[in-house]
Structure 1
């Protein structure tokens, strides 16, 4: 028996902690599938002890779950979900994934053909293997809208009401003076700390605050689990900080950004070519800020910093080659090809992404479509500072996980942006979906 399953967690090396997390989550998924199989057999036999009027009531009692949860498990166990069942039994998706898919397909339109039903299930199961249940639910909602259903009835539509009454929030603008409607009072204070951190505070009017909140809520959502059982480790404050960074990153790339001295805001870093290619600890910008070589290589993907690359004799070899950055036409082509961030399970749209050079330009990588991939700010940083790699196969971007997550390092393709499957409905079609009982 492996030491990762016999030793207590505190005795395991760091790498084996991750291995145990992945193994136990897969075991949990398989065990849940086995429980559903037992529930289905119990229901089919009608083998309830005396005193219980329904299988759901019996399950709620003996499993110590709510009646709602018991009904959900019964629906999953008795529904026609062969692909979901297969993935769950293999440990590839979680109980939450199965619940989302079962809930959605139970409400599928009656005019769907059996083929439509199977394609829809396959679409969601494929996404579930790489994304968290909330991403799968959003994909299901998009599919339901595509089926001409009422989106308000989509299962699990999120209610983003935080329960905050604007009139009860200190400093709110509910009692603003009339003149403030024409010139809202907004304040922003900032300073650099001795440790090189940018600290800020302030407040804005209600309208601007609402707009900021609408940007922050989706951007600060937890990242999809890289694998089942590995939730986003960031705190809410850290997620909101990353969301602010993504908003600033987007604003910095807009063509309408004001110019300074005829040029968009940039910084210049003086660095020799070998240092840029190597693993130097730190580099200094023109304003004496400090960057690591790894950070510089990541930032250079979208030319927020211009490198003044020097040869051995100090001559300027490159001062921000224009060919390093993707053209507007290439960005539009990437938006069409990638549909957004290419990290498995990420559903950020194209406007929140930047082109990443798969082979870095400093290593001779061209700024061509077959050497570019769309990444959101969060996953762009992950790519440059982790063991993830990118390859393009048959015109599609695939991410290769580090060996600690997958020893076989199988390439993964993001399916979160895939369009809904086209129904086979015709004007006269009235074929019902597959029966909901048995499998």
Structure 2
């Protein structure tokens, strides 16, 4: 073993420049790695001579743990690493070559540390037994050379490529039947009326879910007044989740809804629903405002429940479909997507909005319907924008006065240009 000296530290570290500090860290790191390699050579020699004969211990791990003040779990990797990197001797005196000689050389120079050594040794354990010694030696030498400068991820990528070259077919699966996916979802209603969604998805479903949410959670483009999407990433993903649910509910084969977007049990007085003042109960699970009930009722199945002043159900009306499948197809052809100016949403992401609301006597026909995405649907119901049907049979929108003092009507031009 070569004699190694520790580098000298400046007497006053606070005076050292950034280059001196970096150089000092690299020097001490190299010394530590070289010392670890020298320790491994000693441990390999103890293993070769027999620790029981030398010191009376049952294993080199137990002896080293006692000497170093370590637990057996801490001492084990150090001894196993030493045996893998250094030559040892069998009981008959014949030499047993190291498992990773090129890695051992890099470690002796202080070029790589314990973590990269363990990474290479783990890779060597994955090489099939039928691979020739020459190919195995070449693979180990290639990775040891790369590990001198590469990080863990780059080395892992190289290992995957080398393993693919050595064993292109991979291991034969032991069980031809794949294990069932592990998926858990929990939905709980909190006391404040919000719902808490949590779960655990397997890798495949998690990747699919992330891809869908990313596709629908993209920020809205800058609008005509230059305002960017103010929503956070979490808020955009929440809105994306709502859109995905809308798509699922609108599927004709979806059980329980038959393609209807919402089944709304309206337990509210008729006058309150018309005025938009008051509260309603949605599907008997919680309260929502009358304005929210009006929004949901634009494109849904409505089951009106008339209550007395004391809350007694007086009459349960018939289930009524407001927008028929034929009307929806005609809307898709006419508006070609969300009709709000500057919106790029496609028809499948849109609701059918009643311009004159049905609760106010508005009819369910094409002259009174317009496609709106979820965001702009809510904006029309709760904001200062207004929508009307122009003389040519196409919808146009009047902006609030703070956006345009003259309140000149606007139309969507994106879908028409397309």
- The TM-score range, normalised by the shorter chain, is 0.5 to 0.7
- Which segments of 5 or more consecutive residues in structure 1 lack a partner in the other structure? 1-163, 169-175, 421-439
Is it true that 1:397 corresponds to 2:395 in the alignment? Answer: yes
Partner in structure 2 of residue 416 of structure 1: 414
Q: Displacement, 1:318?
A: 4.1
Secondary structure at the counterpart of residue 414 of structure 2: coil
Partner in structure 2 of residue 321 of structure 1: 320
Q: Displacement, 1:304?
A: 5.4
Partner in structure 2 of residue 227 of structure 1: 224
Is it true that 1:185 corresponds to 2:182 in the alignment? Answer: yes
Higher CA-based Rg: 2
Partner in structure 2 of residue 407 of structure 1: 405
CA distance in 1 between partners of 2:197 and 2:240 (Å): 15
CA distance in 1 between partners of 2:262 and 2:207 (Å): 28
Runs in 1 of length 4+ with deviation above 6 angstroms?
A: 176-180, 311-314
Is it true that 1:201 corresponds to 2:198 in the alignment? Answer: yes
**Cα separation, partners in 2 of 1:191 and 1:365, compared to 1, 3 Å:** same
Q: Which of structures 1 and 2 has the larger relative contact order (alpha carbons within 8 angstroms, sep 6+)? A: 1
**Cα separation, partners in 2 of 1:264 and 1:414, compared to 1, 3 Å:** closer
Secondary structure at the counterpart of residue 221 of structure 1: coil
- Describe the superposition over 1:333-379 as per-residue Cα deviations: whole angstroms up to 9, x where unpaired: 11110111111111111111111100001111111011000111121
Partner in structure 2 of residue 86 of structure 1: none
Aligned mate of 1:278, from 264, 275, 287? 275
**Cα separation, partners in 2 of 1:350 and 1:205, compared to 1, 3 Å:** same
Counterpart mapping for 1:100-115 below 5 A: none
Partner in structure 2 of residue 237 of structure 1: 234
CA distance in 2 between partners of 1:408 and 1:179 (Å): 71
Partner in structure 2 of residue 97 of structure 1: none
- Describe the superposition over 1:212-241 as per-residue Cα deviations: whole angstroms up to 9, x where unpaired: 233222321122333333111111111111
Partner in structure 2 of residue 375 of structure 1: 372
Q: Displacement, 1:299?
A: 0.3
Secondary structure at the counterpart of residue 390 of structure 1: strand
Partner in structure 1 of residue 245 of structure 2: 248
RMSD over aligned Cα, in angstroms? 3.2
TM-score normalised by L of structure 2: 0.53
The question of whether the paired residues in 1 share the 8 Å contact of 2:352 and 2:372 is answered with yes
CA distance in 2 between partners of 1:317 and 1:381 (Å): 28
Q: Displacement, 1:319?
A: 3.9
- Describe the superposition over 1:246-268 as per-residue Cα deviations: whole angstroms up to 9, x where unpaired: 1112212221111289x997341
**Cα separation, partners in 2 of 1:180 and 1:401, compared to 1, 3 Å:** farther
Aligned mate of 2:207, from 210, 214, 223? 210
Partner in structure 2 of residue 99 of structure 1: none
Secondary structure at the counterpart of residue 214 of structure 1: helix
The question of whether the paired residues in 2 share the 8 Å contact of 1:341 and 1:376 is answered with yes
Aligned mate of 2:348, from 348, 351, 357? 351
Is it true that 1:387 corresponds to 2:397 in the alignment? Answer: no
- Describe the superposition over 1:275-327 as per-residue Cα deviations: whole angstroms up to 9, x where unpaired: 111132322345241010000000001125533245889743844433xx211
Partner in structure 1 of residue 297 of structure 2: 300
Partner in structure 2 of residue 25 of structure 1: none
Partner in structure 1 of residue 339 of structure 2: 342
Aligned residues: 246
Secondary structure at the counterpart of residue 259 of structure 1: coil
**Cα separation, partners in 2 of 1:264 and 1:383, compared to 1, 3 Å:** closer
TM-score normalised by L of structure 1: 0.51
**Cα separation, partners in 2 of 1:180 and 1:281, compared to 1, 3 Å:** farther
Q: Displacement, 1:206?
A: 3.1
CA distance in 2 between partners of 1:224 and 1:265 (Å): 29
